[in-house]
């Protein structure tokens, strides 16, 4: 995650944060959310529909399906085919996500 997310990353309405009423998620929060050792994933599928490259910027659209939960809990969440848009920027280290919105 640290190599993929740009230093200026901002997520808007990320699936797991949105249910908490959180509209914006910064880089450190997103990394913590996706790498939490108490989180379990039964399914995590991104489907890219289109990519448009404009120099050192790319716009990706697609959908996400995820079934996640927490260790030591029977509660979980299933999200199916939620649309997303991501903005990627190319820097000296490669392509990184600078913004995504669901």
On the question of pLDDT at 18 being above 70, the answer is no
Reported as type and span, the H/E element at residue 57 is strand 57-70
What pLDDT, on the 0 to 100 scale, is given for residue 40? Answer: 79
SS3 27: helix
| CB-count burial class (<10 Å; 0-12, 13-18, 19+) for 68 | middle
Confidence (pTM): 0.82
In this prediction, residues 16-32 reach a mean pLDDT of 82
CATH of domain 5-101: 3.10.450.50
């Amino acid at each position: 995650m640290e190599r993929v997310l740009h230093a200026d990353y901002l997520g808007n309405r990320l699936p797991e944060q949105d249910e908490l009423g959180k509209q914006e998620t910064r880089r450190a929060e997103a990394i913590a959310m996706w790498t939490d050792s108490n989180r379990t994933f039964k399914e995590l599928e991104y489907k890219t529909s289109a990519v448009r490259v404009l120099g050192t910027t790319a716009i990706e659209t697609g959908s996400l399906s995820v079934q996640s939960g927490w260790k030591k809990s029977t509660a979980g969440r299933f999200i199916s085919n939620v649309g997303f848009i991501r903005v990627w920027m190319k820097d000296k280290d490669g392509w990184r996500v600078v913004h995504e919105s669901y």
